[in-house]
Structure 1
Amino acid sequence: MGRWEPNARGRLEQAALELYVERGYAQTTVAEIAARAGLTERTFFRHFADKREVLFGGAGTLQELMTGAVADAPEPASPIDAVAAALQTAGAMFQERREAVLRRQSVIAANPELQERELIKLATLGSALAEALRRRGVTDPAASLAAESGVAVLRIAFEQWIGDTGQAELPQLMRASLEELRALTSALR
């Protein structure tokens, strides 16, 4: 593949993931990723700040997708229902990319540094969802509680999904986790 071919970012992401799985994250260099993609290190750094960000470059897209779903939820939707709409949108996106998501997650699970970055990403997502709810007129603590609950549902359903043999789809697991949360909170009344 020549340097002039399109989708440099996608090629770098694919090359990095292949190398991380084959050799390990810590043992893979930016030079090796660029070479595997048929690009230069300079091109790599035009797209990513460091080799860690190859795995997290989609965080902004996920955040935009989910906050957009909150904003687009029907006006009478409760805060948790607006978050549920965001979860379903994200779940469908992850489901479509299951194999790549599973490979990415295996790299993250093997590296504490990457696990830390994943937690930061989830915290940032929670803050963005809370802000999207506030823009809908939801006040705190309801906006923060609904957003953080949604992130917890996402994380728990995602962990079930990656541990599953492919029988359950992520949106289905998210709905089930959300219903479990609703059952728990209604029992508190």
Structure 2
Amino acid sequence: MERSRRRDQSRQRVEAVALDLFTRRGFSEVTVEQVCAEAGIATATFYRYFSSKEDVFFGYESLFLDEISRCVERVDISTSPSEQVSRFVEGFAAFLETQRESLARRDGMVRSVPALWARTMANQRHWELTVATSLAARRGHEEPDEDDELDASLCLVLLRGALRAWRASPSEPLAHAAALVTVRLRNRMCEG
């Protein structure tokens, strides 16, 4: 137990050092060796935790997947599908708010480095599948059906919209931006 905790702390420290270097120098300008030197670790130690520089950048992936599952678990399945989507988006946006500094630091790099953008899009597709699978299970389906997949897609669309709104107004709480984007989408869907 203690060994696992120390390993997690070391991994988080390397990730924090790497993110700081990426922020100051630019992702493409930083090498694994520079991360190791700054973190005071051997290259072999780095590769025990991460398989590449990109992996350290995306070190948050498992945390996000765990939170996605928790958010789906908190959704009241007895409500309408649109309410379920709204509750998921609000819950995940509240979680993202706790990651605000890290998100802000990563955001510019993702948008300017094609490899990071491509992996981000792949991650979001994986998150969408996770939402669909989790919703299906909560709704009593063995596999996601078209409605589960559509609702999962809506969740991700709304989160992307909230992140765009947050980028434009960084002082705005992300959960508030998510609620506004949800209302805007509902209004657009009802236009005649």
Length-normalised TM-score, structure 1 = 0.88
Deviates more, 1:74-83 or 1:144-153: 74-83
Name the residue aligned to 1:66.
68
Name the residue aligned to 2:166.
161
Distance 1:96 1:6 in 2: 19
Which residue of 109, 112, 115 corresponds with 2:114? 112
Name the residue aligned to 1:176.
180
Greater helix fraction, Structure 1 or Structure 2 = 2
The CA deviation string for residues 73-110 of structure 1, in whole angstroms up to 9 with x for no partner, is 22312333233222222212222232221111122122
Given the alignment of the two structures, is residue 121 of structure 1 paired with residue 126 of structure 2, yes or no? no
Distance 1:148 1:6 in 2: 32
Structure 1 counterpart SS, 2:27: coil
How far does residue 5 in structure 1 lie from its aligned partner after superposition? 9.4
How far does residue 138 in structure 1 lie from its aligned partner after superposition? 6.7
Which structure 1 segments of 5+ residues have no match? none
How far does residue 71 in structure 1 lie from its aligned partner after superposition? 2.2
How large is the RMSD of aligned CA atoms in angstroms? 2.0
The CA deviation string for residues 113-162 of structure 1, in whole angstroms up to 9 with x for no partner, is 10111100111111110111111227621111110011011011112212
Q: Contact 1:65–1:89 at 8 Å: present in 2 too?
A: no
Structure 1 residues 165 and 65: alpha-carbon distance in aligned structure 2, compared to 1, 3 A threshold: closer
Aligned counterparts, 1:126-137, within 5 A: 126-137=128-139
Name the residue aligned to 2:157.
152
Name the residue aligned to 1:48.
50
Q: Contact 2:72–2:135 at 8 Å: present in 1 too?
A: yes
Structure 1 residues 95 and 43: alpha-carbon distance in aligned structure 2, compared to 1, 3 A threshold: same
Name the residue aligned to 2:92.
90
Deviates more, 1:169-178 or 1:133-142: 133-142
Distance 2:11 2:41 in 1: 10
Query: Number of residues paired by the alignment?
Result: 184
Amino acid at match of 2:173: E
Deviates more, 1:85-94 or 1:141-150: 85-94
Structure 1 residues 68 and 29: alpha-carbon distance in aligned structure 2, compared to 1, 3 A threshold: same
Length-normalised TM-score, structure 2 = 0.86
Name the residue aligned to 2:146.
141
Structure 1 residues 137 and 99: alpha-carbon distance in aligned structure 2, compared to 1, 3 A threshold: closer
Deviates more, 1:55-64 or 1:110-119: 55-64
Structure 1 residues 5 and 52: alpha-carbon distance in aligned structure 2, compared to 1, 3 A threshold: closer
Deviates more, 1:74-83 or 1:25-34: 74-83
Amino acid at match of 1:26: S
